[in-house]
Structure 1
Amino acid sequence: MMADASQRKIRFSVAGTAHMQAVLSEHFARPVEPAEVGILAGKMGQLDPTTRGVLKSAWAEATVMPVDQVELGRMLEEARCEGVLLRKTTDRFRAGRSWLMGAPTLPLEIDWPSATLPGGATVTLDFVAQLDLGHVPSSGKLPAEGLLFFFVDLTSPLDDMYRAARVIHAASVPETCPIRVNESAPARSEAVSIRFQPMAGYNSGLFRNQAFEKAAMGLTAPISARFRETRDEVVYEHSGGLVSRVLGRKKVDIRQYLHTLFLGPDFGRWQDFDDADRVPLLTLDTEDRDDLNLPDHILHGWPLTFAIQERALSAHDFDVVTALLRE
């Protein structure tokens, strides 16, 4: 269930907030506190047309107000987000049992997840990721052991940005656990092995200020740019099922995309969504079409993010995860 939209709070610079306080105080003929400025901006669509017009005008003026270097530094520090980049790799030994798409090693005693849609139809969820928690850089946010399995509805038409989803934590999965295939939700592509790399990003939408947004986006651009990574892959000569000798190496191109943990499409909290209490868990960059073969007519290349309430993440309660598409 979506939280009340009043939870959303839009933030401005110190000067911008003061300007909006003055304009709104005059409009309402009463003092407006800084906290109320953010709340009113967060629920602009619920306001009467006259108040909405006043707020829009004050917002536009507040956005272009200058900030000094001290305030800019403070804003950037608050906007910094720590997370993990999921990088595709051909080295399966380094990846452990972590991959995108393909099929999971979901233990047989765990039911393959399904969901009942608002119209009453029941759908079998698609498997999209499996994370070996023993390989994820420690942050204290996830369990230290086991596997996380991510499932989402990839079949329903895009009527809403919220998608049916399920995340399952299996605390102990034997190394010998076989790949599990579900005929109702067949694999859309071959499994793509991934390795984990700590990374930091900057949430350029945290404050509504042009100077801040420009600085945050400048710091984020080198991270978010698509690039090609060339890796060496060992070429073996096989004989009778046994490796007899190494023939050499070949270059393999791997196009990397922004598949991340804890960062989300904007490197930060969900201040632009109705449920402001949720934080990003796993985000898949659905523009990665060639390797993941995700349905473009449903996802439209939008980032697909599994989001969770902070208190549930702290309790490792993954039953309350939802999935969102962000344009």
Structure 2
Amino acid sequence: MNGPLLRAPVLRLTEAAWFRRLATGPLGRRVASRFVAGETLDDAIRVAKALDGQRISTMLDHLGEHVTAPEHVSEAIAAYLRALDRIRIEPFLDVQLSVKLTQLGLDFSHELAVASMERLLEAAREADTLVMIDMESSGYVDPTLRVFHELRTRHERVGVALQAYLRRTPRDVDALPPGSIVRMVKGAYLEPPEIAYPSRREVDAAFARLTATLLARGHTVHVATHDPRLLEGAVAYVTKRGLPWSRVELQMLYGVRRDLQLRYAGEGYPVRVYVPYGVEWYPYLTRRLAERPANMWFFVSNLVRFGG
């Protein structure tokens, strides 16, 4: 069964109360540490330093989404500001930041999300780093892109993720401001077939087409996948056309396909690893388990091994 077809049953499994209790208990936390750096900023910086020693850059994500009260927005902003301050005082580390707008007030108003991002982007300017806006489920694409487009009129070092499995994404690419920074991902949320391609073949083809289109139009592209064929295709496209690698990064997730991370970094390609941290790690973990059968197998087999 391929990734898109497996997503629905795995997500249903992870919603079960018994599975959540198991996954968030001591044994589950031990296994989840493969995919999550830890619960504190110090944990994330420790991982960033270790990856830096392997010539791999990082992007930090303080986990959390869909805050339910305005005061929680302030807490999220404070957490990101602490991360940016830490990045500022670690000048030899190449660390960027990824944020979810539902953590920054998007469910309350467009204006609150923009104001939250303005605070982070000012701090990011002082830290000399980039802030990427992560993309969430399909219902958030329009409001997320509205925030991005507004911010892009005032800030250059802000980018956005686009999801290849959404049928609408070619139109979103057409509407991007010139010289945008885009993180191209496959997509990990459960969506109906009229909104998202249901097969891996269709998703992979869309990913390759969109990556080529973005590069051909002069955008900076973060090629975020663990698929060796798509990575090789992106490398071949950039090499054949003589595009500068300053406009391209190969990005992967912490704990996933470490062999590919080390291989490409060792060959001199720009590699960046997405490093999540924080106490709200369970929703992130469920999406990682659902998007790749190998991740689910790793998690379950290690629960059995450590539990035995």
- TM above 0.5, yes or no, is no
More helix by share: 2
Give me the TM-score of the superposition, normalised by structure 2: 0.22
Task: Work out which structure has the larger RCO, using CA pairs closer than 8 Å and 6 or more positions apart in sequence.
Answer: 2
More strand by share: 1
